[in-house]
Amino acid sequence: MVDGTFEYYETRLNTAISQLINRTITCELWADTLIHFVTGLLVRGPDFNDRFEDRFEIGKLAEVIDPENTNFARLFESQRLRSSIIGAKWTVLQVAEEIKLITNDLGYTPYQNPILKELGMAIPLNPKYVLLIAPRTRGKIALSLGGVWMPIINYSTLSNELACTLNKSIDEIGQRFIIGNNNEDIGKYISIHSTPGVVPEPYELGFMAGGMAMVFEHMWEKLITIISEPPKKDGVFIVFDFNKSYEEFIRANRGSF
Q: Could you give the C-alpha distances from 69 to 2, 31, 63, 73, 164, in angstroms and in order?
A: 11, 27, 10, 6, 40
Three-state secondary-structure class, residue 225: helix
Q: Is the predicted pLDDT of residue 124 greater than 90, yes or no?
A: yes
Q: Is the predicted pLDDT of residue 170 greater than 90, yes or no?
A: yes
Higher-pLDDT residue of 61, 244: 244
- Predicted pLDDT at 169: 94
Torsion sign (Cα): 79, 81, 83, 86? negative
Query: CA dihedral defined by 238, 240, 82, 35, rounded to 10 degrees?
Result: 30
- Distance separating alpha carbons of residues 229 and 224, to the nearest angstrom: 9
- Averaged pLDDT of the chain: 88
Higher-pLDDT residue of 88, 96: 88
Q: Is the predicted pLDDT of residue 59 greater than 60, yes or no?
A: no
Q: Could you give the C-alpha distances from 79 to 89, 183, 255, in angstroms and in order?
A: 19, 38, 24
- Distance separating alpha carbons of residues 30 and 148, to the nearest angstrom: 13
- Predicted pLDDT at 49: 79
- Distance separating alpha carbons of residues 88 and 122, to the nearest angstrom: 12
Residue 208: what are its φ and ψ, rounded to 5°? -65, 150
Interval 153-166 mean pLDDT: 95
Domain region containing 141: 2-253
Beta-strand (E) ranges in 97-189?
103-104, 109-113, 118-126, 129-134, 138-145, 148-151, 153-158, 178-179
Which among 135, 123, 132 has a CA at the least distance from the CA of 154? Answer: 132
Provide the percentage of residues in the chain whose pLDDT is more than 90: 60
Least confident of 81-90, 93-102, 131-140: 93-102
Using pLDDT thresholds of 50, 70 and 90, give the confidence band for residue 139: very high
Q: Is the predicted pLDDT of residue 67 greater than 80, yes or no?
A: no
Provide the percentage of residues in the chain whose pLDDT is more than 70: 90
Interval 64-90 mean pLDDT: 84
Least confident of 148-152, 189-193, 230-234, 239-243: 189-193
- Predicted pLDDT at 257: 43
Q: How many domains does the chain have?
A: 1
Q: Is the predicted pLDDT of residue 36 greater than 80, yes or no?
A: yes
Least confident of 135-144, 149-158, 187-196, 213-222: 187-196
Interval 172-186 mean pLDDT: 89
Q: How many CA atoms lie within 13 A of 167 on its CB side?
A: 26
Cβ distance 154 to 91 under 8 Å?
Answer: yes
Interval 232-254 mean pLDDT: 76
Residue 130: what are its φ and ψ, rounded to 5°? -135, 140
- Predicted pLDDT at 153: 98
